[in-house]
Amino acid sequence: MANHLLVSTSVPPAALRPPAGVALDTVRRQGLTDVARAYWLTYLHTPHRMSMTEATDDVQAAWGGKYGRWLTEGSLLARSDDDVIGAILTVADAPWPDVPRGPFVIDLFVLPTSRRRGTGRALVQAVLAAVPATVALRVDDSATEAHALYATLGFRPAP
């Protein structure tokens, strides 16, 4: 899948409160299964579909450092009632040679039934406010809504 590497501007946008009924919290080891379930459900009916086992393995691998050292202040989940409806997972430095050094968002996802309410925006803004550095990420070329979100939050193509 083709994608673009984006970087945040040096001035993060003002923090946004999550939508009513949504709470943001740090991802913790005991919550990884809930995060993996939301990850699986997010991609269940897409070309990027995976099994629950694959989703769990990927989230566990991220936590374990496969994609770089886990950045606690940049890895948040969004809950509505007791259900995880989205998350943003960030590492301190990604291991790939084509990405800039520093914080890197390895994934942002929100359940399809919870989209277009500001949850993804609140997750990204919380990370930008918590991480005092330029943040980078990749976004799939076909993800037009994600491109629009990142552009409104000050992300630009990497130089």
Q: Which of 87, 95, 82 lies closest to 32 in space, CA to CA?
A: 87
pLDDT for the residue numbered 10? 60
Q: Which of 73, 87, 74 is nearest to 33 (CA)?
A: 87
35-to-98, 99, 150 alpha-carbon distances in Å: 27, 25, 22
∠ CA 115-121-126, nearest 5°, is: 135
Beta strands in 31-103 (DSSP E): 76-80, 83-91
pLDDT at residue number 140: 84
Average pLDDT over residues 138-159: 86
- Domains of the chain, CATH where assigned: 3-157 (3.40.630.30)
State yes or no: pLDDT of 130 exceeds 60. Answer: yes
d(CA 151, CA 144): 11
Task: State both tokens at 136.
Answer: 């980078």
Q: What is the per-residue pLDDT for 47? A: 67
Q: How confident is the model at residue 32 (pLDDT cuts 50, 70, 90)?
A: very high
Q: What is the mean pLDDT of residues 21-48?
A: 89
Q: What is the pLDDT of residues 71-118, one digit of tens each?
A: 999 999 999 998 999 999 999 999 999 998 999 999 999 988 888 888
Within 13 A of 101's CA, how many CA atoms are on the CB side?
Answer: 0
Radius of gyration of the chain (CA): 14
Question: So what's the pLDDT on residue 66?
Answer: 95
Among 30-34, 60-64, 110-114, where is mean pLDDT lowest? 110-114
* Residue written as token pair 């936590």: 63
